[in-house]
Amino acid sequence: MPQQSLSRSVGGVENEIDFLRRLIDEVARELTHNLDLDQKLAMLETVGHAAPQLARMLKVQRELAGSDLDPAALLREALLELQEEWPEFGAFCKEFQAKPEEPLESQT
């Protein structure tokens, strides 16, 4: 993955985190208003769904920030492992691997 795509991914994670934080804050402010029990329960259910998502996104953000690994290298490594563990996939990949070029004949 090019560095630009990675930075866009990080920006997307940060936007998602910001959205979830604002959602939880908004629901918390609304709970102070005079609402009936069903409305409060619905809002608490929203927070109940948003809080674990926020926790996951914060974890992803931390992992992305601390990661200096090359995503392309990670993908390449994963595909090589799949080729070893899954013979049919390995055979499929061999069909499309670059073949060594034949030496050019000199034209003298």
Domain definitions of the chain by residue range: 1-67, 69-98
Confidence of residue 99 (pLDDT cuts 50, 70, 90): low
For residue 69, the model assigns a pLDDT of: 64
Alpha carbon distance 85, 50 (integer Å): 38
Residue 94 has pLDDT above 60, yes or no: yes
Q: Do the beta carbons of residue 83 and residue 90 sit within 8 Å? A: yes
Q: Is 3 exposed, middle or buried (0-12, 13-18, 19+ CB in 10 A)?
A: exposed
Confidence of residue 20 (pLDDT cuts 50, 70, 90): confident
Q: What is the pLDDT of residues 49-81, one digit of tens each?
A: 888 888 888 888 887 776 666 677 777 878 888
**pTM tops 0.75:** no
Alpha carbon distance 22, 54 (integer Å): 11
